Structure 1
Amino acid sequence: MSISPPSESSPRMAPSRLALRPIRPEDEATLLAIFASTREEERRMLGWPDAAWDAFVRQQFSFQHTQYQSAYAHPSFLLVLCDGEVAGRLYLDRAPRETRVVDIALLPAWRRQGIGRLLMESLAVESDGNGIPLTLHVERNNPILGYYERLGFQVEADKDVYLYLRRPSALGELPALQAFEPCVGTDFLLQRPGGEAAVPLRLADVAIRQRPGTHSGSLTFTGPDFGRPAHDTYVLVHPQLGRFPLFLGPVMGGAAGELLYQAVITRTVPSPEEDP
């Protein structure tokens, strides 16, 4: 992680001044400049001639860029813009079960201005809204570790030089399909956006299909028509299962005055030796 720890006196950037956009092939020179700026301390220590250092940094950037492009299944690689000017990069992997913060790197002119803090806090708010936890790796001696801990990250694995951190979502993760089976016939509350009154849904059926490498199935609820016909992600609350996000919508059928709502869930089953 190439981000300086926030200073208590660092001014917060106004959200309207910051923007994100996906990286493009024509951004390679800009991305190289961002990468090179994170190696300046190393450059001063080594004292190499400019030509030798430039060749080395280009090689290292090419290796890292190629590795990042191929290593993540759900990449969201973004340039950070402030007032339209490039301030740095934000690399994420938005997997179904986690959002991995791959890298944040800011150009020297934009460091210690609260940009990194604003990006991380925005990701935390997003995580609390969609129920997907944040994860990242950080060097164990990096002074930013204390900030991550204050933001809610917890050490999940010790990897010698690096620590693997995870920040659970305040919303909670979607329970396993099997956890819903004892709840058939009980009521859930669907919380609607905008402060509208919650809608009671009764869990009518749980169907589970297990295949090698995946668990899939569906949840079927009955409840009133609450005027949102499209499938969408809602927050559901249950006394035993807690508060969690669920993508569901109406399907054909239902008794008079009621609708059927269905959620289809597919989860990859990690192998026992899979490492975070």
Structure 2
Amino acid sequence: MAAKQHVSAFSLIKTTAAAGRLKQRIRAAGAAMSAALAGTVLAAAACCSAAEAYELTTPYKSGHFALHQVILERYEDYNEEFRAELTRDLQVQNRMQKLYQSSAAIFPYNSKGFKGTIGESMLGLLSIANYAPGEEQITLVNANTASYAGLYFSFSQLKDFVDNKALNSLFDELLRLPLMVTDIPVNAAGFDSKGNFYLTGRSSAMILDLRAEDSAYYTQDEIRAIKANECKIDALLFIERICPDLPLYISARAAVNHISCASAEETAANGSGADGGKEAGSTAAGK
């Protein structure tokens, strides 16, 4: 009986030990399954996150400037959170690539982007400039067509750029990118011998000579009604030639986006971009 009891006790010990090992294996298996499940969930989350991340490419780039194309994914919202994330991404790129300035043309899901016309629907233009330490400028333009898809300058900023002798060596880089320039004073308006209509804006350091050949917002008659010394325009410029002597001479084709005249408030309102723009023949890439 004692032997029996000993055997029974030994069997119980083995059984208990086996049960303990089984529990350990079950716990280990459970932990492994949990880890695998967690990994699957994280992978799925990463997949979903990647699927909803915008697509950023850089169709135009020089040594110190870049113009990006951003196309949203299907379920991505163009909201404050998105703009903050894109701003951070551009700031990082600017620092890593040592860019003085970059702009991002933001397009909705399934857009043709720069491959479309200047009437292609657009959500906005985000620009970040940093020409000196601690002097970063962030500008968001509520643009609604690709006619605003260019490296962003106000006329005043472009004038300051030209006036800065340290940046004079960068003029040729501007030939490689479309420029979106606002508040250009129209100091002269008229036709050349071939019937092309030109708008000219100037400062003491710069002359912008623009062949106004297209618009997503105005008819040719409306553009040709612009009077010298009465109006300012916003325009997308495709630079053809730069003469670096002072005053700096820039010759460009232009798509007129906005006209503001002291004597033509109604014309200016018509070109404010609220109607989304008319389909035009030129592409956003200037082809």
Higher strand residue share? 1
Higher helix residue share? 2
Return the TM-score normalized by structure 2: 0.26
Return the TM-score normalized by structure 1: 0.26
